[in-house]
Amino acid sequence: MVAGRQTDDFAKRKEIYDEMQLLAHDDSGIAIFMLPSIIDAYAPEVQGVEPDGVRTMMGARIAERAWLQS
């Protein structure tokens, strides 16, 4: 990887990175990621929030739908 970063020659860099990809493919295991259960909670000052069954923070749109009560 260091050699690939150090060269200005695009073809040589591609050759080095292609070899790295083959090594990772041939010699690596498989990772299967999982999503943990997430608790979506807010302080009492946060108003306008509603639970979202798919994603946290109101489907990642909390900035558009919630406000702070002063």
Q: What is the number of structural domains in the chain?
A: 2
If asked whether residues 4 and 25 sit together in one domain, one would say yes
Task: Tell me the C-alpha to C-alpha distance, in Å, between residue 36 and each of 9, 55, 59, 62.
Answer: 43, 12, 16, 21
Q: pLDDT band for position 25 (50/70/90)?
A: confident
Domain extent for 61: 36-69
If asked whether residues 48 and 26 sit together in one domain, one would say no
If asked whether residues 30 and 6 sit together in one domain, one would say yes
If asked whether residues 1 and 28 sit together in one domain, one would say yes
If asked whether residues 30 and 51 sit together in one domain, one would say no
pLDDT at 60 over 70: yes
If asked whether residues 6 and 24 sit together in one domain, one would say yes
If asked whether residues 24 and 7 sit together in one domain, one would say yes
Average of pLDDT values for 43-67? 81
Name which of 54, 49, 17, 20 is nearest 35 in CA terms. Answer: 54
Task: Give the predicted TM-score (pTM) of the model.
Answer: 0.42
Segment (H or E) for 14: helix 10-27
How far apart, in whole angstroms, are the C-alpha atoms of residue 13 and residue 17? 6
Average of pLDDT values for 59-70? 84
